[in-house]
Amino acid sequence: MNFNSKNPFLSNKRFSSNAVSKAEEVHEAKIIDYNQEMTLSGTINKTVILFLILCGAAMVTWWMAFNGMNIMLPAFGGAIVGLILVVISAFKPQYSPYLAPGYALFEGLFIGGISAIFEAKFPGIVINAVGATLVTFLVCLGLYRFKIVKVNEQFRSVVIAATLAIATYYLISWLVSMFTSFTPVHHGNSMMSIGISVFVIIVAALNLFLDFDQIEKGVQERMPKFMEWYGAMGLMVTLVWLYIEFLRLLSKLSSKD
């Protein structure tokens, strides 16, 4: 089973005047109102809201799976709708207050479904993947908070290039495997496959630094309030990607036992 994953926020993973377009121009033309500006606490609160929505939706498909119901439609339908909402938000960040909760809802259906599938095959894998994702997030946050890792243009360029390379590889592998008998090297539990999963997890984790940096810059530049939802949504996209990759890696390691 192939669960391709990539961060669709990549193409617009920045906070700039171009990102908010005319909406920010209108914002800047008004008298400064600090209640209408992006804040760190506001972004954190919205990230928590999205996380709770995602978890709630995930519990629905998880419950369906373990009660013998067919979860393919809500799970993979949720993945498709979630991706569409992310793409729209990437081009229209001013709609993020409406799109971000929708993304969390539909992506939660997908996460709950694939988690149930992995859990049924490898008992205990989900709690380990959740723990690994949480630890990775906290470590990256600490490294960024204490300036141990600094995000500069070179760092940003390398991470974006690596993410694009992974996305391109996944896409080409998926297309080729659909029409031929070709088996991508990241399938199976070979050392090569495990090594690829480790590399992808590292790149996904590095994307967290970009998320932290973009949120911090958005606050410093007094972006409009809706950018809190945009920043929270971008962070959730990265965390979902990271969690899926941990599921994939742990399943490969478990299948070798």
pLDDT at 213: 96
The pLDDT confidence band at residue 15, using thresholds 50, 70 and 90, is low
Least confident of 15-19, 161-165, 185-189: 15-19
Percent of the chain with pLDDT over 90: 75
The predicted structure's pLDDT at residue 184 = 75
How confident is residue 16, by pLDDT bands cut at 50, 70 and 90?
A: low
Give me the DSSP letters along the chain. Answer: -------TTGGG-S-SHHHHHHHHHHHHHSPP-GGGB--HHHHHHHHHHHHHHHHHHHHHHHHHHTTT---HHHHHHHHHHHHHHHHHHHH-GGGHHHHHHHHHHHHHHHHHHHHHHHHHHSTTHHHHHHHHHHHHHHHHHHHHHTTSS---HHHHHHHHHHHHHHHHHHHHHHHHHHHSS---TTSSS-HHHHHHHHHHHHHHHHHHHHHHHHHHHHHHTT-BTTHHHHHHHHHHHHHHHHHHHHHHHHHHHHHT-
Top pLDDT among 190 and 41 is at 41
Contact 247, 118 (CB under 8 A): yes
Residue 172, judged by CB atoms within 10 A of its CB (0-12, 13-18, 19+), counts as exposed
**Angle CA 174–238–228, to nearest 5:** 135
Domain ranges of the chain: 34-255
pLDDT on residue 178: 80
Query: Taking 60 as the threshold, does the pLDDT of residue 34 lie above it?
Result: no
pLDDT tens per residue across span 98-151? 999 999 999 999 999 999 999 999 999 999 999 999 999 999 999 999 999 999
pLDDT digits (tens, 9 = 90+) for 201-218: 999 999 999 999 999 999
Mean pLDDT of the chain: 88
Q: The whole model's pTM is what?
A: 0.86
Backbone angles phi, psi at 208, to 5 degrees: -60, -35
Instruction: State mean pLDDT over 164-178.
Output: 88
Closest by CA position to 129, among listed 252, 2, 256, 1: 252
More confident residue, 33 or 53: 53
Rounded to an integer, the average pLDDT of 157-173 is 93
Cβ–Cβ under 8 Å, residues 38 and 237: no
